[in-house]
Structures are given as structure tokens and as C-alpha cells.
Chains A and B, each alone.
Chain A
Amino acid sequence: MATVKFVADYEVEPCIGCKLCDIVCPSGAIRMEARKPIIDDALCIGCGRCVDRCPEDIMWMKEREVPLAVTVLPEEVDQAAVAALLEKAGIEASVSICVCTLTPGSEIAGAIVKGAKNLEEVCAMTGMRSGCGIYCVAPALRLLEAAGCDMTPPGQHRWYPSTLSLYDLSDEVCAKYPDAFIAEDRALFDPDQKYGPLHKENV
């Protein structure tokens, strides 16, 4: 769960309509209309990236009157479906996928089971990426891929479909990099081999 205390705002008149705030928004909270950003407060997860990116320095974060609790609760979704999705993707339920908000794998999977179809919707539903916005992306994309979601990257380099995991490496790669502890780490992270053999198509 993420508690979102801030929301983005900006000064309309000097805005040059460059769209950079829209491009870097992780949760789809910003859309452009008539070359001005429209901010959906309900979707803003308070990451502040738009403020930092604004070349005109006319955006800021304002404190919400009431913090926004963003979460997908276990009782909201079919937990059997969540477990199946996690296993298919090779993601542990309890691991913090977003290490800024400490959102676990089970909640990310829960958002997808609940209906999230892309990375932006996962972020808006869980608050994931409201911090650094970096390290949680690949596991979340992998879960979306495992759920059969469209992995065609959206325009303007919002994200690219990168989902590689330790469990995907081929025998050829293992042979090429024999000192990379690939087999040892596989045994460590998947002692029961529940995530299967190496190739992604088998996951």
C-alpha cells in the first residue's frame, strides 16, 4: 500500500505545452489537452517526476488535504489467480517489488488480476513507481506479460518491454559466462525448481 501525500499542480499560463510531464508520468495521471497538461488527482501517485522534469520550472507538488491510500487488498481479488500468476512469472509473493513503497509481488499481481492491463494502471492501482520509479519495473512488466497483456511499448519511450529474469537464461548463455553464478543463484532463489527450466517460453 502507498499513502500518497502530495499531488502535482502547475501554473497554466507560462506552460509551453512541451508534454515532458506527460511522458514521464508513471501512472497515466497527466494527459494533454490544447497543449496544456490535465492532471487527474485521483491517478497522481505523487512521484514528483513531472515537477523535476518541467523545463519551465512551473510545476510543484502540493500537499493533499486528505492523503490518498492506494492499494489492492487481498480480499478484493481471487488469491488462487494471484498465486497462479506469480508462479507463471516466477515472482515471489512476499518480495517487495517496489522497494520505495514496499509493495509486494502479491499486490502487483493482485492489481493485474483485478483488471490492470498495462504498467500505468498497475502504478495507479498500487502506488508502485511513486518513489525512484526504476527498480520495480521489470518484475511488474513480467507479471503483465505472464497475464497475457499487450506488451507493445507505448509511444514516447514511456516504457520498453523488458522482462528478462534469471530463469530465462539459456544453456548457451550459462556456458558463455561460466563465472556468473547462474546455476548457483537459480538453486538459491528457486530451490524447488518451481519456476521450471531455463527458457522463457516454458515459463
Chain B
Amino acid sequence: MNALTALKPPAFMHSDYGPALQPHVAETLDDMVSVPLTDFFPDFAPAITSGDPALLEADLERVRAETRASLASVDMSGISADDSVNILASEHGFGLMGGWPYAEMIKTIREVVMERTGCRKIHLRLAIYRGFREADEVAEHFGFNEVFEGRVKGLGPFDQGVEVDTAVGPMYLIKRAFDSAKFIHAYYDDPREMYFNRLLYKSFKSFCMSYARYETRSVYHSMFGNRSGSVIPRALFDSEFIQQRYTFSSVLRTTPMGVIGVDATTDLYAIDRRITKGHLETYGRMQRLFAEIKDCVAIWDGGRWGYYLHGGGLIFGTLLTNHSDAFDLDQPVVAGFMQSPTAPVNFSRNKSLRGVVVNQAWVGAGIPYVTMPFTSPMYIVGEEQAKMWREDPTNPLLMDRAKVVDSLEQGITMACEKGQTDKLIVFDGSYGHLTCSQSMADLLKERAPAVDKLVAEELLPKWLAQRGLS
């Protein structure tokens, strides 16, 4: 590892949904490098967080300050001292940089609301993906039970629903999310699966996912295209049910460099416009840079679902699907469950991805990579992980194809030989830098100036115009 330029990846939370924590790739292999993203794009502004686990407390102090500064101008007149208020949080925020910045924003929201309004009955509702124990793990790890004095509950897609009338018809939200008179939308702006949301009103997505029953999630993902699906979260947000309870939003703002601040206001549409513009400028560059990779082996090395692990601020899923430009709305389908009869897309088939080595990752998010081992060989390090994958019902076909290897090094050797490549890219939760092989670093550095020019002169103006943000 090139320690001089390396920032350590974030530390992870242990989970029942993942294997025992392993040393990071960056700590294990000597021939990996850590490239600051400013080596690719010198104009990237620095983040307020260092990303260095050793400097976590200083990072969180800056997040606290940013949250307080942003909340200072928020109209909180909708909350009275006698109200009960739910702060709604979503699970992927806890996958950003180890989850601590998002957790700190949430804790600070509670403090400020109490100070400003006198309200004491502030509850945390932790939306989770699928596992019923995720919320308990998150609450314990981040100390929410103590901070919220026990007023913490999880909520998931299988919990009791509440029917909500919307412009598009009845939808079903999770009753527990709205069991207080008011709520605060505490979000983060990780673009994450941009090939689904296309950065079309991404800030609203929680209303049809995290806060929604599984039927509504299914409607959003399976019954619409990945552009037209944007109507569902907006219809929910605009509904009388939500508007009667909504107070304000507070969003943790990021770029591939890390946390850049907090954006809080009552006007979620305004936040969304700011986020979208910022994302196209920064994540857009990284996404197009990843599209320059024509052969590589990816390594999953984090404490969340492999598909959602970050490297250089982008999730692995972006690498998997970057054979299409997800930001270009003229491209009708990038990925999605609803398929065109004339132009079907298999979104787990990127020929540039020659293999995946799983050093550590949670099982359980099957959808994105059920078929991935059919086209990209997978190597699972260690029998403990292999057993988890074998027993994972969301990936019933994966272990029919994936190989179990004894060590990370063995997996990399086999994947590189099979894939005829020496380029490694690691998804270890990193922001601000990318852990990769020297050959990958050389390629990306060589291509970055042209990508920068292409985005600045052609793509960004088009992306912005398509969204009315020119």
C-alpha cells in the first residue's frame, strides 16, 4: 500500500448480515495504491470531512457545526413544544463513510429542534432494507438509544402499512414512520443507484422506498421505467397525508470527496435542485471516468451490501452499469425491472467487469447481482463467507457459479488470470480517494483530463438542460 497518499477506509459496523470483519485490502496488499481524487480532477473542492478514521471526532465536529448553521435559517414554526416529532432516517446513510457523519447530523437535528421549539417528544425512526435486525444494530452502534432516550424504533417494508391517497392513486406507507403528529425528513444525497433514479427527483425517493411498504416499492421499481418512476415519490410527498405532517428536510450533502455540508430547509424541491446540479458536476465526472475502464477486477471490501460499497465516492453498482450514461435522460433505459420489448437491458452484464473478489460484504441484497456470476466470475474469500452466501435466499443462484478461495491474494490471482487483466479497483467505503492497483491508477490519471473536458463542454450542459437546470 502506498501509505504516503493513503487515507484509511472507514471502520465498519459488525452485523449479523455479514461475516466477521476482516482487515481491509488496503491494509493487506502491498501493491495497491490510494489515489486522491484530486489527482484525477484537480478542481474537486475539498470536503469538510477528512475521511481519516483517526480524525473522526474532528470530522464530526464539523458536521455538527454545518448542521447547526444550516438549521439556523429553517422555519420550525410547524413544531410546537407539545408536538411529537419523528425524525425519519434511511439505512444507506449509515453506509456513507462508516455512517458517522449521517448519524451526527441526525443527533444534531434533535438537539436543535429541542432548543428552538421546546419539543421533547422527538423520536427516531430507522428505515431499514429487509433484515428485521438491521435497525437494532444501527441504533446500538451509533448510540441512538442513549441520545434519543429510548425513543428509537426500526421500520421496514413488511411492517404494518397505512393507505395514502395520492395523485396517482392509493399508495402504502409504513404506519410507524408517521405515528407522530409531525416528521422531519433526515436524508443524505448519495446518488447511489443512479442508473435507477437517473437523478430525477432523487431527494424524494425515500417516500416511495424507505418510508413505504413493499408494495409501493414494487410499484416504483417494477411497474415504471426508471425515468417515469420519479412520479411515485413526488406524488407521495405532495399528498395531503405527507404535507399535513411534514416539517422540514435536512440533507447531508456529499461529493465524491466526502461530506461538503448540510442543506436544510422546508422546500425539498429547492434542495433537490441544488443536489442534482452538484451531483452532475462531481459524481458525473467520476461516473464517466469509471466508464473509461475497459477491463478490471473489482474487490468488495466493506461492511455493507457489496453492491452499495463505495470506492472513490461511487458505489460498485455504478461500475457495473456504467456501460450506459445514467445521467443522460435521452437514453431511455439504463437499468430497470421494467424492460422494453424491443431493447431489453441486462444491467448486470458489463463486459468490462472481468471478475469480482469478495473480501468482505453483507449478503442479502440479491436483486442487483443474482445473475452477475454468470457473466463476471466471483471469488468468495473464506468458507465462512461462502456459507453465508449459500444460505442467502436472495441469491439462490450465486454459489452455483462463484468459487470459494482460501485467501484474498488467491482470489485476485485467479480473477486476474481468468479476466486477462491486472487492473484492480477496490470498493472499501472510500471517499476522497480510490484504492486500486497501480495500473488502474495510471489508466484513470491518463484518461481523466479528457473526461473532464468532455463532461464540462458536452455532457454537463446536456444533463443540466434535460432537467431544466441550465
Contact = CB atoms under 8 A, between A and B. Distances in A.
A168 B169 contact: yes
Contacts of A47: 393
Contacts of A48: 391, 393
Interface stretch (B67-75, B365-373, B403-411): B365-373
A97 B219 CA distance: 12
B214 A133 contact: yes
B160 interface: yes
Given A130-B393, A137-B214, A182-B231, A188 B131 contact: no
Contact of A164 (B161, B221, B223): B223
Contacts of B133: 52
Interface of B: 130-133, 157-161, 163, 167-172, 200, 213-219, 221-225, 227-228, 230-231, 234-235, 329, 332-333, 337-344, 365-367, 370-371, 391, 393-397, 467-468
B218 A189 contact: no
Nearest to B225: A185
B234 A177 contact: yes
Given A130-B393, A137-B214, A165 B224 contact: yes
Contact of B217 (A61, A134, A188): A134
Contacts of B468: 179
Contact of A180 (B228, B341, B342, B343): B228
Given A2-B396, A92-B339, A180 B370 contact: no
A15 interface: no
- At the interface, is chain B mostly helix, strand, loop or mixed? loop
A45 B338 CA distance: 25
Interface stretch (A73-81, A98-106, A109-117): A98-106
B219 A130 contact: no
B215 A100 contact: no
Contact of B338 (A95, A130, A176, A181): A95
Contacts of B225: 166, 181, 185, 188-189
Given A52-B131, A100-B366, 7 more contacts: A46-B393, A49-B158, A92-B339, A161-B215, A179-B467, A181-B225, A189-B339
A131 B158 contact: no
A138 interface: yes
B215 A99 contact: no
B231 A169 contact: yes
A153 B161 CA distance: 12
B218 A131 contact: no
Contacts of B395: 100, 131
Given A53-B132, A135-B217, A162-B170, A180 B157 contact: no
Contact of A100 (B172, B218, B340, B394): B394
Contact of A185 (B159, B217, B228): B228
B391 A184 contact: no
A180 B235 CA distance: 11
Nearest to A168: B169
Given A162-B216, A181-B228, A188-B340, A100 B393 contact: yes
Given A2-B396, A47-B393, A52-B133, A134 B160 contact: no
Interface string A56-77: 0000010000000000000000
Query: What interface size band does chain A fall in?
Result: 35 or more
Given A180-B231, A188-B340, A136 B329 contact: no
Contacts of B200: 179-181
19 contacts: A96-B337, A100-B367, A100-B396, A102-B370, A130-B396, A131-B370, A160-B172, A173-B235, A179-B468, A180-B234, A182-B228, A184-B227, A188-B225, A188-B333, A188-B340, A189-B340, A189-B341, A191-B341, A191-B342
A162 B171 contact: yes
A159 B215 contact: yes
A95 B343 CA distance: 12
Contact of A24 (B158, B221, B329, B397): B158
B231 A3 contact: no
A135 B396 contact: no
Given A52-B132, A157-B160, A166 B228 contact: yes
A155 to B, nearest CB: 11
A134 B396 contact: no
Contacts of B234: 177, 180
B53 to A, nearest CB: 30
A198 to B, nearest CB: 11
A165 B219 CA distance: 7
A125 interface: no
Nearest to B168: A173
Nearest to A127: B396
A119 B329 CA distance: 35
Nearest to A52: B132
A203 B217 CA distance: 22
Contacts of B170: 162
A92 B339 CA distance: 8
Interface string A143-160: 000000000000001011
